[in-house]
Amino acid sequence: DAKTTQPPSMDCAEGRAANLPCNHSTISGNEYVYWYRQIHSQGPQYIIHGLKNNETNEMASLIITEDRKSSTLILPHATLRDTAVYYCIVRVADSNYQLIWGAGTKLIIKP
């Protein structure tokens, strides 16, 4: 699977949009981009995933660049409970579910 690069940490003010970047410059055409988060050593929580088009659900939006070499996870109105480590992962289509996890971005929401 393609390797991802994320900043190790970010701050965001409560109520503002949190934009978390991810670089995946070696991504292949059949690889999906997944985002999970982990709140203080709990089990990882699925957030969103996409292939080429931008995606939105009740938790977040995922913006994927046209060349697919990078993406941004957007939490539109961050709350203190969004403080967590956010992981960006790419996954090959039709592969076993062997997610390759990096170190993620530690997002701290400040009041």
Q: Among the residues of 1-111, which ranges form H helices?
A: none
> CA-CA distance, 111 to 98, in Å (whole number)?
37
- Give the shortest CB-34-to-other proteins separation in angstroms: 7
Q: Residue 56 half-sphere exposure, CB side, CA atoms within 13 Å?
A: 2
Kindly state whether residue 45 participates in binding other proteins, applying the rule CB under 8 A: yes
Specify the residue, 14 or 55, whose C-beta has the smaller distance to other proteins: 55
The conformation of residue 4, written as its DSSP 8-state character, comes to: -
- Give the shortest CB-65-to-other proteins separation in angstroms: 19
- Give the shortest CB-40-to-other proteins separation in angstroms: 11
The footprint of other proteins on this chain (CB under 8 A) covers a number of residues equal to 28
